[in-house]
Amino acid sequence: MTERPETFLAHLRSAAVGVLERFPAELRPEIYALSFRVWRVDDDDRRPYVAVGYNTQTQYERERDPDDDGEARWNYAYWLLEGFETLGNVPEDPVGSRVYEEEVRSLGVWYDGELGVEEHPCQIVR
């Protein structure tokens, strides 16, 4: 990961390259698809992340049945889903967390506190 990326997006791009380079060498010939799962921790809009993963031929063979028309190959629900690196505003990515919060605060859209039923996730705190 970079020490001081200009933007959150720039950080994600450069850090994702590092994640791809760290994929296990022995699995690389088996990897047929990459995944970039974008979500947020505990549904908190302040905690976006991307989990960079993949699926392998072995996983496909494990999940498919004899009548499978490709469902297990391309339906994300059958893929490897755990153990991938995450980037963004998460503890595993301290640079990304810092850059994200600084950028969002500079745009004037950061908010503090808990989300309640009455609160809107985009309220502005200045």
Q: Where are the domains of the chain?
A: 8-107
64-77, pLDDT tens digit by residue? 988 888 899 999 99
Looking at residue 69, its pLDDT comes to 82
97-119, pLDDT tens digit by residue? 999 999 999 999 888 887 654 45
Considering the entire predicted model, what is its pTM? 0.78
Q: Residue 38 in 3-state DSSP?
A: strand
Residue among 54, 73, 75 nearest 64 (CA): 73
Burial letters 45-72, b for 16+ CB under 10 A, else e: ebbbbbbbbbbbeebbeebeeeeeeeeb
Q: What is the mean pLDDT of the chain?
A: 88
What is the average per-residue pLDDT within 10-26? 95
Bigger pLDDT: 38 vs 111: 38
